[in-house]
Every structure is written in structure tokens, then in C-alpha cells.
Amino acid sequence: MSTSTLDRPSVIVDHVRKHFILNHAFSFKDTIVAWIRRRKTTSVFEALKGVDFSINEGESVAIMGFNGSGKSTLLKLISGVMQPDVGTVHTRGRVAGLIEVGAGFHPELSGRENVYLNAAILGMQKDEIDARYDEIVAFSEIGEFIDQEVKHYSSGMFMRLAFSVAIHVELDVLLVDEILSVGDVPFREKCRLKFIELIEARKTLVVVSHDMEMIRELCTRGIVINKGELIYDGEIEGAIALVSE
């Protein structure tokens, strides 16, 4: 019996835990005072506590929750930027992530050079990049600034170029954090239309955003994280209602 595309997972998050060590002593004096007063200089923050779910090919899923709930940490684990302390994360195919503005860009290189660098990091070969270079630059609207060092770019220019590179990769899974909020209205509309195009092409989309209208339009499923724990996984309207309470 064959398995349909809808039944093939693109992302598997298997009982994942992630913690961080928080430092409460920022100087030698702080350390000495803490030692004298028998106070701890560090503490453990559990960002994710046994989170478990899978996302099938072609699904559009919003990861939701309040600030500090673990959403961005989860997205970084799926992208491979970080590794879980416990559990495993599996992805199928090529994953492109828009998680931090300018991530993967070298400030001393030009926009042109960073297109090639960032696209290579995302897994594109040089001939692929050559074939799509003009389209990438045109979509980004960088224009005459493409040969300027990116350290002189605004956050909006960074975002437009990073987004343009990522969406022109032959991707299977696209991960998007809140970074689109730095774009202007016309560019956000271009991004929205591109998302719809990717959804229609049955690419897997995983979004972290507080923009409920965008989530409602693009996503059919919501995963809600609260204090590192998965508390809801189901229809998008149920997820929106939960985080809007």
C-alpha cells in the first residue's frame, strides 16, 4: 500500500529538550559577592521540555506562543543552527531558514558576494546561483547597492536580500521567524504572494509570527508552545484562540 505525499513527514521533532545556562555574575566582583553570600552565579533555563510532533510535506504550520515560550529555539533546532540536548530533530530535503536578519552574511563582503555565500550555505551549486542571480537581485530590490558592502545596509535591505536568496533556493522546507516585520508594506505583500506560491507548489512552510492575519491566511495548522511545553497541536483557529486569550 503506497504512502501519499501528505503522509510523508518533512519535519520530525522527537521528544526534544533544550536548556541554556544563564549567567548571573557579570564581573569578578559579582562572582566574589555571590560566593560570600552563597548565591548561585548560574541557573538552568529549560527552553523546551520534551516537545514532540511531525509536519508532513506540503503542510503550512504556525508555531505560536507568548514571548519566551521557546518558539524561536524550536525553529533554530529544526534549521540545524542548534542541536537538542535530548531527543532528535529530522528533516527531509533542503531546508531554508529566515530566522535572523543577516545570518550567514559577511559584513565586509558586498551584496553580490553575499548572495553567492548565503546561497552556497543553503546548498546551492554555483551554476544554480548563476542561473538565478538576476532574479534574486530583482526580487530583493537592492538595485545599485548590490556591490556595496553589506555592513552599510539597513536592516530592511539585509532582510530583503536574505529573503530573496532563501526563496530562490530549490527548497523543500521554508522556516520563517518574525523578521518580515522589518520590511516595508509593498515588500511584505511581495513576500505574502511568494508564500502563497510556495504553498501552491506544495512546499512545507513553518512560520513563527505574531501577525495573526498572516498566520490565518497562510497556515492550516497551529502548534502552541507555552513555557517550553507543547500545549496544543491542531486547527489554526483553535491555536489563534488559545494565544489570544
Q: Are 84 and 19 in contact (CB under 8 A)?
A: no
Q: Are 47 and 85 in contact (CB under 8 A)?
A: no
Q: Write out the E strands in 5-118.
A: 9-23, 42-56, 60-64, 86-91, 95-98
Q: Which domains does the chain have, with CATH numbers?
A: 5-12+56-243 (3.40.50.300)
pTM of the full structure: 0.81
pLDDT at position 210 over 80: yes
CA distance 86 to 89: 10
Which residues pair with residue 234 across a beta bridge? 222
CA distance 128 to 49: 40
Lowest mean pLDDT among 22-26, 161-165, 194-198: 22-26
CA distance 126 to 117: 10
| Average pLDDT, integer, range 49-63 | 95
**152-164 pLDDT, tens per residue?**
988 778 888 888 8
**Residue of 91, 82, 89 lying closest to 123 (CA atoms):** 91
For residue 33, the model assigns a pLDDT of: 62
pLDDT at position 102 over 60: no
CA distance 209 to 77: 17
- Decide which of 244 and 26 is more confident: 244
- Dmax over Cα atoms in the chain, in whole Å? 68
- Decide which of 16 and 68 is more confident: 16
